[in-house]
Copies of this chain bind each other. A is one copy, B any other.
Amino acid sequence: MNIGQAAEASGVSAKMIRYYEEIALIPPPARSQSGYRVYGEDDVHTLRFVRRARSLGFSIEETGALLALWRDRSRASADVKAMALKHVAELEEKAAALKAMAKTLRHLASHCHGDGRPDCPILDEIGSQGSAQQSA
């Protein structure tokens, strides 16, 4: 299987497959005589794992750790669970930060007429607030 077919089968773009190989997230595949990368079903399986982990919001580095755990049949399930729950906490923290931003902004917008008149307190309040936490 060439990289295009592996991309199709795994849902990971050919560009990203090469990138994952470059950063050693996945092992380099076999090569054909002419230098084409050749993938097997196992490789596609791994790529699907990576895609799934990424879609769950794991960073590449975290995905690499999960991949190592996945391949290690003797690992303790506690390791996996701890990582998952830590990530859940991070995701929820980011979600909460976004919701807080949205809430603040909606509050500001609620005090704005939204008509043709220039008066709108949103900008004044953005310009006058002294502190705000950076996140997400």
Contacts and interface: CB of A to CB of B under 8 A. Distances in A.
A114 interface: yes
A76 to B, nearest CB: 5
A20 interface: no
Of the four ranges (under 10, 10 to 19, 20 to 34, 35 or more), the interface on chain A belongs to 35 or more
Q: How many copies does the complex hold?
A: 2
B48 A127 contact: yes
A113 interface: yes
A48 to B, nearest CB: 7
Interface of A: 11, 45, 48-49, 51-57, 66, 69-70, 73-78, 80-82, 84-85, 87-88, 91-92, 94-96, 98-99, 101-102, 104-106, 108-109, 112-120, 122-123, 126-127, 129-134, 136
